[in-house]
Amino acid sequence: AAISACEKSGKWEKALQLWNIMTRGHAELNAIAFSAVITACDKAGKWKEALQLFALMAQSDVERDLITLNTVTSACVKGGKWEKALQIFRAMTQSKVDLDMITLSAAISACEEGGKREEILQLCSSVVHRFSALHPVPARRKKK
């Protein structure tokens, strides 16, 4: 809760300090705490820190949810690290995480930043294909 309060008030450095205290004190590292501190880093333009925390999340066996994935992708795009943002997006498309419009928007922004306009259509196509595989449309009944 304290890290979330720091994140919401724009005090990313304080959020990281609290995070460090938590980790040194062997507090339980959960998705909510990770997400709050990653969001604080994103809002402050601290993409390196966001990526480090994202990697630590995997090392700590904490499930990375859609919100955290979107946040770290956004941090990379804002930090000019579009290649890393696309790498994360591609990993997301291979995972079990359901993607949303925020995810696709961040991936498109990464492509634009990197001058990869041709990849935008490929990304959209892969998302449509994945969505249709996960959410098939039932066949229409013929009218009599």
Reported as a single tens digit per residue, the pLDDT across 98-142 is 777 777 777 777 777 777 777 777 777 776 766 666 666 666 666
Residue 90 or 79, more confident? 79
**Exposure on the CB side of residue 66, measured as CA atoms within 13 A:** 10
pLDDT 10s digits, 46-67: 899 999 999 988 888 888 888 8
Task: Name the residue among 129, 110, 98, 118 with its Cα closest to residue 72.
Answer: 110
Cα–Cα distance measured from residue 141 to residue 30, given in angstroms and rounded to the nearest whole number: 47
